[in-house]
Amino acid sequence: MASETGQGEALGGIAIGMIVIWLGVAAAGIGVALTYDHAEAPVAAAAAAPAAPAAPQGFYTEAQATRGAEAYATSCAMCHGPNLTEAPVGPALAGVDFAANWNDRTVGEFYAYAREFMPPQAPGSLPDETYADITAHVLAVNGEPAGDTELPADEEALEAIVFDIAEAAAPANP
């Protein structure tokens, strides 16, 4: 039979562990964080909590975002605005309005929508890689850090990445 002191110490350890996890999640929420859908992760992996939160992983390269900015300027800016927020015709692709529309939705959904419907005068007319580059540019403008691997032109792979844009990191809409 366990003593009350032993149970209290165990519960105290659990409470401290939960606080550490909560602080890590809160710290990761400052800025833009994209997350993988871990629905298929093994239960044992989900139960193991890391000692400290890992640095955000970039999902695109700087070179890819640069290519995306160039393609955006020629194919998207006329409707969505030059800085992605001053949208004369289409919706903003950065800032709090974008966050309101796309938080908790997948990058795959964004990529697929762009590929199927954009640009409106010639939907689907760009190469798949160009749509991925433009998506990388949108991620960059919204504060997602670059990494070492290019964002793939693969809707299924992009479905595992979820937009989580903190309003503090999103550029303000004019």
On whether residue 174 sits in a domain, the answer given is no
On whether residue 16 sits in a domain, the answer given is no
Domain that holds residue 129: 31-48+56-162
CATH code of 157's domain: 1.10.760.10
> What are φ and ψ of residue 92, in 5° steps?
-65, 145
Residue 152 has pLDDT above 90, yes or no: yes
On whether residue 156 sits in a domain, the answer given is yes
On whether residue 90 sits in a domain, the answer given is yes
Average the pLDDT over 34-61 and give the result: 53
Amino acid symbol at 7: Q
On whether residue 25 sits in a domain, the answer given is no
Q: What is the pLDDT of residues 57-94, one digit of tens each?
A: 799 999 999 999 999 999 999 999 999 998 889 999 99
Whether the predicted model's global pTM rises above the 0.75 cut:
no
On whether residue 136 sits in a domain, the answer given is yes
> What are φ and ψ of residue 32, in 5° steps?
-110, 130
Res 87: pLDDT: 86
Count of structural domains, the chain: 1
